[in-house]
Amino acid sequence: MENEVSTAAAPAGDNPYGLEALINHGDAVSYTVLGILLLLSVVSWYIIFSKFWDQYRLGKSARTVEKSFWTAGTVREGADRLPKDDDFRLIADGAIRAAAHHEGRLSDRISLHDWLSMAVQRSVDALNSRLSNGLSFLAATASTAPFVGLFGTVYGVLKALISIGLSGQPSIDKVAGPVGEALIMTALGLAVAVPAAFGYNMLLKRNKAIQDVMREFSADLEANLIGGVRPELPGARPAAAAPAAARK
């Protein structure tokens, strides 16, 4: 009875098995594991937010290209309408320089189409490389963070068993505390890995959509510089069909 009263009198908010206890009673190994997981989490979230911002900016630039670039009289005029740091302008400037360079040199060695394709592809590859920066870190975090947490759990359980064996008193309170603290490591590893995996898959899918837009823009740019062909803008076909309908 006396033992039950003392147990009931224990403070309800004082949890000796939580994360706070792990931080207060940890050693160098547990602190190292927590530090690695914290670093992986911070860098992962930074990459996720920064890449989503870059993708949003590129999507906005793609809409600007439809409204401003292709409505200009020439490709040079259209490029000048875009901001200087715009990624689509960088592709257009590279294609314009390549076309001007081809007129004075190498015209008898390589066709204008191949020359422009190589120049545009270099610009697109550079942009794709910048979009992909950090995705490998997210993939590595998603695959390794659970194992980092599992290492902390295994180490904590081993330390608890050694402590119990040395004390010679295998009571439940001596087992529950260290084992509970050790299992927190696995939970933290999963908490780091799941957002990284989700962010990696979402960013990869959105990157593919942006790359499709860039390939379409590059093909339209090459067709315009080589043959003067302009892409069909949204809403252009109904406007062109209106006079024919009126004649009927």
Kindly state whether residue 224 falls inside one of the protein's structural domains.
Answer: yes
Kindly state whether residue 13 falls inside one of the protein's structural domains.
Answer: no
Pair of tokens at residue 208: 């593919």
**Cα separation of 248 and 244, whole Å?**
7
Q: How many domains does the chain have?
A: 1
Helices 172-227 and 28-64 pack at an angle, to 10 degrees, of: 20
**CA distance between the termini of the chain:** 101
DSSP label at residue 18: S
**Cα separation of 15 and 135, whole Å?**
38
Kindly state whether residue 164 falls inside one of the protein's structural domains.
Answer: yes
What b/e string do you get for 199-208 counting C-beta neighbours within 10 Å, with b at 16 or more? Answer: bbeebeebbe
Kindly state whether residue 248 falls inside one of the protein's structural domains.
Answer: no
Kindly state whether residue 80 falls inside one of the protein's structural domains.
Answer: yes
Kindly state whether residue 86 falls inside one of the protein's structural domains.
Answer: yes
Kindly state whether residue 214 falls inside one of the protein's structural domains.
Answer: yes
What residues make up the domain containing 101?
26-229
- The string of DSSP codes covering 139-198 is HHHHHHHHHHHHHHHHHHHHHHHHHHHHHT---HHHHHHHHHHHHHHHHHHHHHHHHHHH
Judge contact between 159 and 26, C-beta under 8 A.
Answer: no
pTM of the shown model: 0.73
**Cα separation of 107 and 156, whole Å?**
71
Per-residue pLDDT of the chain (248 residues; tens, 9 = 90+): 444 434 444 444 555 556 666 667 667 888 888 899 999 999 999 999 999 998 888 888 888 787 777 777 777 888 888 887 788 888 888 887 777 766 555 545 667 777 777 878 888 888 888 888 889 999 999 999 999 988 888 887 787 777 777 666 666 666 666 677 778 888 899 999 999 999 999 999 999 888 888 888 888 887 777 776 666 655 544 433 434 443 43
Kindly state whether residue 18 falls inside one of the protein's structural domains.
Answer: no
